[in-house]
Amino acid sequence: MKDFFRRLKYYGLGFGIGTIMVMTLFDNKGCSWFPSNRVKDNLFNRMIVMNAASFDQIKEQGFTQPDFLNTVQAGTVDFGKSKKQGLDKVYRIDYETPKGKKKHCFMTMGDESFMTEIIFSDKKATKISPTNSDAELPGKILFIPKNEFLFYMDSSSTLTEKMKSIGIKNDKELNRLIRKNGQFNFSRSSLLQHPKPIHCLEFYVTKSSKEKLFVKCIWFKDKIKVYDLSIETLDF
């Protein structure tokens, strides 16, 4: 019996050291069973958007856009300072700038929303709304998950024909244009609507086009369904 307890003690000691080593070596490196990484995986499986004012802060902190996203993805989720309950969650991410300064941002995660917004704020997470619908300027899209057919058109013949009439032949072309020219329109979106928040994206079919397209979408079965289209002709 004495040998059994001695072996059990050694086993427990080895298991504990191994667990600490795994957490030290692999935290933030793809082990999705860590709570922090599960949250970040969830966030980075969505479209990531930032308003114009916040986007300027990336440069002020010394980041390029790709470096900033990589830094945030490798950052630490501060669960104690996050809003973890309810349909519309807000997570605080702590990170370090290239100059070694400690900074943080918030990332929204609305229930049934395919968009997460990065927000710089000194407020508490509970005071931050997962929407910036008062923003006058369109939001910058920083990241879209890699899926060639992430966006698809409603099968409505009216919508399909309308898309074709302005040069969008199919879903593949729609995806290409959104990734190339798309911006997020906060004012035409209803991100607090439940059960399905409404998202609005805007883009031009060509650089020289005078017609700006506004497509309204919902998240449906891991894809983004476009169900409405409006066109605004610019006078310039």
Digit-coded pLDDT (tens) for 155-213:
888 888 888 888 888 999 999 999 999 999 998 999 888 899 999 999 988 777 778 99
Sign of the CA dihedral running 80, 83, 86, 87 = negative
On whether both 149 and 226 belong to a single domain, the answer is: yes
Q: 55 phi and psi, to 5 degrees?
A: -60, -35
On whether both 79 and 145 belong to a single domain, the answer is: no
Cβ atoms of 218 and 194 closer than 8 Å = no
What pLDDT was estimated at residue 216?
Answer: 96
pTM over cut 0.85: no
Number of domains in the chain: 2
Q: Which residues of the chain have pLDDT under 70?
A: 1-33, 130-134, 235-236
CB environment 199-217: b (16+ within 10 A), e (fewer): bbbbbbbeeeeeebbebbb
In a domain, 14, yes or no: no
- CATH number assigned to the domain comprising residue 229: 3.30.2310
Please identify, among 62, 93, 127, the residue that sits at the C-terminal boundary of a domain. Answer: 127
What pLDDT was estimated at residue 81?
Answer: 96
What pLDDT was estimated at residue 28?
Answer: 47
Q: Which tens digit of pLDDT belongs to each residue from 146-170?
A: 888 899 998 888 888 888 888 888 9
Host domain of residue 95: 35-127
In a domain, 123, yes or no: yes
Distance of alpha carbon 116 from alpha carbon 49, whole angstroms: 6
